[in-house]
């Protein structure tokens, strides 16, 4: 992973004494590894690494969460100012992964953080691909979601538009591909695609490996696929009809 990270462009918000390349939660390292990890060798005698979808793809770390996994709209706004800069920010065909979310009322998707929504859509209109996680619910002891699983409650993943993709999780832990993961939000709008997000192996800080589950992992898998083909081939590929297998 180290060789994949462009340390010259990484930023942290707030920036004072905050190293953008020091992962205090393990979340960023895990999703980045799914995209860009490169196995050290092909020695099969021991576990010595994994390959992401695009080994050694260039990754820029934009850190806005604290060690508890929380951030503010202000920090997110500063991050968007940075990635939107016309000369030093994201360029056409770049992929931005936003593996984060805030639970909001389903009726306020467009009005909550409306300035940030406008910036996001402006950047997407310039050919930058925005990939966001659909969101996860809290599970009870029986593995049943507590509350609704409507993806429109997860901001900014509820936002839709050209070059903007929200990714839910499909349960990949069985011998055959199952249905939507029991933790994943879903719905159309705003979920565009599903990708594997259950018990996914990737990197952790300290040169190790760990399995995590979540729509963040699903979004990272999709972001890697999008990066690997250098762009979105056609909007015709988006789901035209959505049938939730949990409802059948």
pLDDT tens, residue order, the chain (248 aa): 667 888 999 999 987 678 999 998 999 999 999 999 988 766 554 456 889 999 999 999 999 998 888 999 999 999 999 999 888 899 999 999 999 999 888 888 888 888 899 989 999 999 999 999 999 999 999 888 998 899 999 999 999 999 999 999 999 776 556 689 999 999 877 899 999 999 999 999 988 999 999 999 999 999 999 998 876 655 554 444 444 444 44
Residues 6+ apart with CB under 8 A from 235: 162
Give pLDDT, residue 10: 93
Q: Quick check: 1 and 7 in contact, CB under 8 A? A: no
Helix or strand run (H / E) with residue 210: strand 208-212
Q: How far apart are CA 186 and CA 184, in angstroms?
A: 6
Give pLDDT, residue 155: 93
Give pLDDT, residue 244: 43
Q: Quick check: 176 and 202 in contact, CB under 8 A? A: no
Give pLDDT, residue 18: 86
Give pLDDT, residue 135: 94
Q: How far apart are CA 159 and CA 225, in angstroms?
A: 21
Tokens of 141: 């002891």
The CA distances from residue 173 to 131, 196, 197, 200, in Å, are 23, 9, 9, 9
Give pLDDT, residue 110: 82
73-83 vs 114-125: helix axis angle to the nearest 10? 20
Residue with token string 């903007």:
164
The CA distances from residue 218 to 43, 82, 181, 225, in Å, are 28, 25, 10, 11
215-228 vs 27-36: helix axis angle to the nearest 10? 30
Give pLDDT, residue 16: 66
Tokens of 168: 């839910």
Within 10 A of 146 (CB to CB), how many other CB atoms are there? 9
Phi, psi (degrees; rounded to nearest 5) at 73: -60, -30
Burial 16-36 (b: 16+ CB within 10 A, else e): eeeebeebeebbbbbbbbbbb
């Amino acid at each position: 992973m180290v060789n994949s990270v462009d340390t010259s462009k990484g930023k942290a918000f707030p920036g004072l004494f905050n190293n953008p390349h020091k992962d205090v939660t393990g979340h960023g390292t895990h999703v980045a590894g799914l995209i860009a990890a490169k196995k050290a060798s092909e020695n099969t005698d021991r576990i010595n690494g994994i390959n992401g979808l695009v080994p050694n793809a260039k990754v820029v770390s934009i850190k806005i969460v604290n060690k508890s996994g929380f951030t503010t709209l202000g920090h997110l706004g500063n991050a968007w100012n940075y990635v939107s800069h016309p000369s030093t920010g994201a360029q056409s065909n770049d992929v931005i992964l936003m593996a984060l979310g805030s639970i909001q009322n389903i009726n306020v998707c467009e009005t909550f953080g409306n300035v940030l929504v406008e910036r996001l859509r402006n950047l997407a209109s310039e050919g930058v691909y925005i990939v966001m996680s659909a969101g996860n619910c809290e599970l009870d002891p029986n593995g049943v979601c507590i509350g609704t699983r409507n993806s429109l409650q997860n901001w900014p993943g509820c936002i839709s538009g050209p070059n903007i993709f929200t990714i839910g999780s499909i349960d990949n832990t069985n011998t055959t591909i199952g249905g939507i993961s029991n933790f994943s939000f879903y719905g159309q709008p705003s979920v565009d695609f599903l990708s594997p997000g259950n018990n996914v192996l990737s990197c952790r800080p300290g040169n190790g490996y760990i399995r995590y589950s979540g729509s963040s992992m699903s979004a990272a898998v999709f972001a890697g696929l999008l990066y690997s083909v250098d762009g979105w081939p056609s909007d015709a590929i988006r789901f035209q009809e959505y049938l939730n297998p949990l409802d059948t």
